Amino acid sequence: MSGISATTLKTMIKNYTEVDDTVLTDDILENIILNAQQRIMYDVPIDADRKQQSASLIVGQQTYNCPAGCLFIRGIQVYTATDGTITGDNTWLLKRDQTFLNEYVPANTSTGTPKYYAQFGGATGLSDTTSGKFMVAPTPSATFAFQIHFNVVQSILEGSGTNYISLNFPQGLLYCCLAETYGFLKGPTDMLTLYENKYKQEIEKFAAMQIGRRRRDDYTDGTVRIPIESPPQ
């Protein structure tokens, strides 16, 4: 199956289930698709969800907005440059709980080059003011450049109507949506079981690519070899 768009996916769900839009309204289909995308995201870490963004810290400011749509931060690099340049010497901040930072820098009185960071607040929207916050300690003593590495969810229902999953894992997305749909329709049970099993089979293949082939190379790790048992002598 080649890549599919949100419009095509909605049509395929109705065709597979033989249920028209009087039951599977557009709002219901969008909720089904969103639920399926969330499930796939939780089942497999997807490289396409990884983003990075650079900016500069502000002297005396300890708390910052997370990037728009940020689900979680994977890491923060702080550079010695104070002109916004992401080059040269840099240090990865150590992640700690917010309470640790509050104890480490009581009343925000200590300044210097940040060493720790903590994320807090929920991702309640797609703007940089509703995606949670992060704090650093010590409080910056200069406008150090930094680069933040984070994960977002890229929905098929936004923008062009496609995303990485719909273009590279369309069969798994469809099967996951069908399992969600038959759960919503409350049957038949055999069809729910069928597409649930189909999804599980496809997600195993997708995971093998995402956390297998995409995380290794032939030069460093060698070619993947499948052991073949020899007949007993």
Domain that holds residue 119: 50-151
Q: Would you say 10 and 17 are in contact if contact means Cβ atoms under 8 Å apart?
A: no
Does residue 93 form part of some domain?
Answer: yes
* Per-residue confidence band for 126, with pLDDT thresholds at 50, 70 and 90: low
Tell me how far apart the alpha carbons of residues 36 and 169 are, in angstroms, rounded to a whole number. 12
116 and 76 fall within a common domain: yes
55 and 147 fall within a common domain: yes
Amino acid type, 125: G
128 pLDDT more than 60: no
112 and 165 fall within a common domain: no
What would the mean pLDDT of 105-110 be, rounded to a whole number? 66
pLDDT of residue 122: 67
Nearest to 173 by CA among 14, 19, 32, 21: 32
pLDDT tens digits along 181-193: 999 999 889 999 9
- Domain boundary among the residues 132, 151, 170 is at 151
Nearest to 41 by CA among 155, 191, 171, 184: 155
Q: 171 CB contacts (<8 Å, ≥6 apart)?
A: 1, 202
46 or 217, higher pLDDT: 46
Name the least confident of 2-16, 75-89, 92-106, 127-141. Answer: 127-141
65 and 108 fall within a common domain: yes
Residue 193: count other Cβ atoms within 10 Å of its Cβ: 12
- Domain boundary among the residues 133, 151, 169 is at 151
Residue located via tokens 């940020």: 70
219 or 46, higher pLDDT: 46
What would the mean pLDDT of 34-47 be, rounded to a whole number? 91
Tell me how far apart the alpha carbons of residues 58 and 164 are, in angstroms, rounded to a whole number. 35
pLDDT tens digits along 131-152: 789 999 999 999 999 999 999 8
What would the mean pLDDT of 57-71 be, rounded to a whole number? 91
Question: What angle is formed at CA 209 by the lines to CA 204 and CA 213, rounded to 5 degrees?
Answer: 140
pLDDT of residue 196: 95
136 and 179 fall within a common domain: no
142 and 197 fall within a common domain: no
pLDDT of residue 124: 56
Q: Which two tokens stand for residue 154?
A: 């890229």
63-65 β-sheet, strand order: 63-65, 133-137, 116-120, 94-95
Number of domains present in the structure of the chain:
2
Does residue 226 form part of some domain?
Answer: no
pLDDT of residue 31: 95
63 and 30 fall within a common domain: no
Q: What is the greatest pairwise CA distance in the chain?
A: 75
201 pLDDT more than 90: yes
Residue located via tokens 């797609």: 126
